[in-house]
Chains A and B, each alone.
Chain A
């Protein structure tokens, strides 16, 4: 994790921020897809999809293999675990704070 570092996580979160890229990840999680197969259900040009795939590649979330003129995209799930860990920590922080908020609201109620 130290080697891959924060810049990698930055790129993972940046990649995850766009709904189209999350949709791409969901689809290739089920099965490998070519870029044109990925473009089909979206109202997007091949070029636009290709651009999203490149962002995902840079974040190491997608591995693209080439055979002839076909590019096949495969999910690389490892970075998702690091991202999930950060988000789980963030959720834990908020849950702890909201517990404290509930506690305060009970105190205020008892004071009335």
Chain B
């Protein structure tokens, strides 16, 4: 996968066609018990999810990995349009990212659904180095996080 910051700016865009109707995909994004099964899913990991899916409402996902370490992702809903659009802020400790913006758009294709996701780092990012290791550490954590996820 290549990323071109000059083309895409400070963010990523991903498009997928999912083999499920729009309503079901939207539920997987918004019902806590379903979010827990994919958002932070990993074998042997426990995930706690709370989500108050309305504009201004908050969500929080806390995952404990097999070594007992906790990873948290949290944020606030900015737009909620069932069953086609969700915009929420995204703060994620392993990356030390605060208040980035995720937009999820769903296009009803009948039996399947086109999902368009953009994740944009804030124009004035509060991305800060944790005292000891900085971005290198953040990236290492994320590497580990992605690899752990892949192993499952």
**List of A residues within 8 angstroms of B28 by Cβ:** 101, 104-105, 108
Q: How far is the CB of A21 from chain B (nearest CB, A)?
A: 9
Closest residue of chain B to A83 (Cβ to Cβ) is B5
B binding-site residues for A, Cβ under 8 Å: 1-12, 14, 16, 18-20, 24-25, 28, 34, 37-39, 41, 95-96, 115, 117, 119-125, 127-129, 134-136, 139, 142-143, 145-146, 149-150
**Are A91 and B125 neighbours in the complex by a CB distance under 8 Å?**
no
Please count how many residues in chain A sit with their CB below 8 Å of the partner chain's CB atoms: 45
A76-108, CB < 8 A from B? 80, 82-98, 100-106, 108
Q: List 8 A-B contacts (CB under 8 A).
A: A1-B135, A2-B136, A82-B135, A84-B3, A98-B14, A101-B28, A105-B20, A108-B28
Binds B, one of A9-17, A36-44, A46-54, A63-71: A9-17
Q: How far is the CB of A10 from chain B (nearest CB, A)?
A: 5
**Are B6 and A6 neighbours in the complex by a CB distance under 8 Å?**
no
**Are A102 and B139 neighbours in the complex by a CB distance under 8 Å?**
no
**Are A97 and B6 neighbours in the complex by a CB distance under 8 Å?**
no
Count chain B CB atoms within 10 A of each CB in A17, A85, A106 and give the residue with the most: A17
